Amino acid sequence: MESRTNPSPGTLPCCVAFSQLLGLTVVALTGAWLGLYRGGIAWESALQFNVHPLCMVIGLVFLQGDALLVYRVLRNEAKRTTKVLHGLLHGFAFIIALVGLVAVFDYHKKKGYADLYSLHSWCGILVFVLYFVQWLVGFSFFLFPGASFSLRSRYRPQHVFVGASIFLLSVGTALLGLKEALLFNLGAKYSTFEPEGVLANVLGLLLAGFGLVVLYILTRADWKRPPQAEEQALSMDFKTLTEGDSPGSQ
Amino acid sequence: MESRTNPSPGTLPCCVAFSQLLGLTVVALTGAWLGLYRGGIAWESALQFNVHPLCMVIGLVFLQGDALLVYRVLRNEAKRTTKVLHGLLHGFAFIIALVGLVAVFDYHKKKGYADLYSLHSWCGILVFVLYFVQWLVGFSFFLFPGASFSLRSRYRPQHVFVGASIFLLSVGTALLGLKEALLFNLGAKYSTFEPEGVLANVLGLLLAGFGLVVLYILTRADWKRPPQAEEQALSMDFKTLTEGDSPGSQ
């Protein structure tokens, strides 16, 4: 029922601004939680654990979400520029997440704690591996020269869906980790509405909210990136085959 | 890049069958977890708590997911039939979830436990209220006669997005609840790879998998319900206005 060719982004800038406000609040609130109630952050002490949630929220939630939004925000830039920025943001997010991963494994090793037993850790490792594979496959198809136009066109919808799924899994994994930290640290005090518990619950709701706002911007049909002139020319054969009309006539 | 008018569902039946296999496995595994490790289910004892996870997984995960899939599975049935089934499945899911909600509040009251302090409970109440409001608004717009065709067309994309979001939040809330139950019940034993912990982790991954498979079926552009003849006639004004061609010419 929606027009696919509408070039006007309407309230897109407001929604993007709202997503950024939410995302930055999530990062700030994670920092505030760790600073106010968990003693802050350091690499060479018991505070090393705290590097993990902060890096994961910055990398696998905020930056990953922003990398997904690049195609909506830069709707009228050259596709190559947008692709490079999309790949760079994901690469940057991956490196930050890697630091967060090393921090928690190193902390566990120093303390003699078991690794990879919880649902949070299983989901986390799954997300991390999928994220790396998706980045590599995406790079091979879309940035590395060689993949044909038809191959890219066939792979694109799968790339978009898998990317959005990894993002949603990342948000879910962050919520599981937050819950784990609260139950480990607060125990029975969690049920007495301790300020730390209330702050972390609010952080959890904002994390879920950020995930859904990013998903809304991604899935709005009339906010999808309109094809540029050179892409229209390249896709002529496909449009003719699948829709029975020439894109050049627009 | 994808054709919107392709009437062939391709691998849709296989994907729907896979989603049902996953969904039924999730329900069976929840039952197995409660039966094998949590003493089973009863209303008038400490086992009343166990009614909660089982009802929520059946109602707000499996049946809610299936209600979303009705428009993909019954692609060629009359729209009215599909709508009524969609509304009925959601209504049935809501009633089962209500029983699950009453069970946990009643159990907390009998035990003197605090209510609504955890992230799981905050997300759960949010999901429940949103689900009820969404059902009421959906019923008023799409089943109750009165809303104009243009109003329905404008509201439909919001209804679809909010519905999918509530479903994803439901899956996330179930994961948080599962994690909470594991940490409360197993405590330090969770890190020793107890069979209950491993089973519940697998259940968590399958829950997330069911959510993503339903989302995949919902979002595949070429699996969307093709407009029926009577809908095409009704939507003529809109298509003419937005796409500049007559749907009657197809």
**Predicted ipTM?**
0.90
Report residue B146's pLDDT band, with 50, 70 and 90 as the boundaries.
confident
Q: Where are the alpha helices (DSSP H) in B74-118?
A: 79-111
Q: Given a cut of 70, is residue B196 above it in pLDDT?
A: yes
Quickly list DSSP for A32-69. HHHHHHS----SSSGGGGGHHHHHHIIIIIIIHHHHHH
Average pLDDT, chain B: 90
A 10 A CB-CB count for B144 gives: 10
Chain B CB contacts of A178 under 8 Å are 119
Cα–Cα distance measured from residue B181 to residue A222, given in angstroms and rounded to the nearest whole number: 42
Report residue B234's pLDDT band, with 50, 70 and 90 as the boundaries.
low
Minimal C-alpha gap between A40 and chain B (Å): 23
Q: Which of A93, A30, A86 is nearest to A60 (CA)?
A: A93
Options 1.20.120.1770, 3.30.365.10, 3.30.930.10, 1.20.1330.10; CATH for A12-224 is: 1.20.120.1770
**H or E element that contains A126:** helix A119-138
B241 contact A CB<8A: no
Tokens of A203: 């952080």
In chain B, whose CA is at the least distance from the CA of A243? B3
Q: Given a cut of 80, is residue B40 above it in pLDDT?
A: yes
Hey, are the CB atoms on A122 and B216 less than 8 Å from each other? no
**Span B161-178, pLDDT tens digits:** 999 999 999 999 999 999
In chain A, whose CA is at the least distance from the CA of B210? A165
Q: Which residues of chain A have a pLDDT value below 50?
A: 1-6, 236-250
**Span A50-97, pLDDT tens digits:** 999 999 999 999 999 999 999 999 988 899 999 999 999 999 999 999
The reported pLDDT for the residue numbered A145 is: 86
The reported pLDDT for the residue numbered A229 is: 61
The reported pLDDT for the residue numbered B9 is: 79
- Return all residues near B249 (Cβ < 8 A) that are at least 6 apart: none
Cα–Cα distance measured from residue A62 to residue A95, given in angstroms and rounded to the nearest whole number: 13
Which A residues, 161 through 220, put their C-beta within 8 Å of a C-beta on chain B?
A: 161, 165, 168-169, 171-172, 175-176, 178-180, 182-184, 190-193, 197, 200-201, 204-205, 208, 212, 215-216, 219-220
Instruction: Considering the domain delimited by B12-220, tell me its CATH architecture.
Output: Up-down Bundle (1.20)
The reported pLDDT for the residue numbered B241 is: 44
Report residue B14's pLDDT band, with 50, 70 and 90 as the boundaries.
very high
Cα–Cα distance measured from residue B40 to residue B60, given in angstroms and rounded to the nearest whole number: 20
Distances, alpha carbon A48 to alpha carbons A97, A103, B232, in Å: 14, 6, 61
Contact A23, A211 (CB under 8 A): no
Q: Which of B2, B1, B5 is nearest to A235 (CA)?
A: B1
Residue A124 Ramachandran class (φ > 0 left, ψ -120 to 50 alpha, else beta): alpha
A241 contact B CB<8A: no
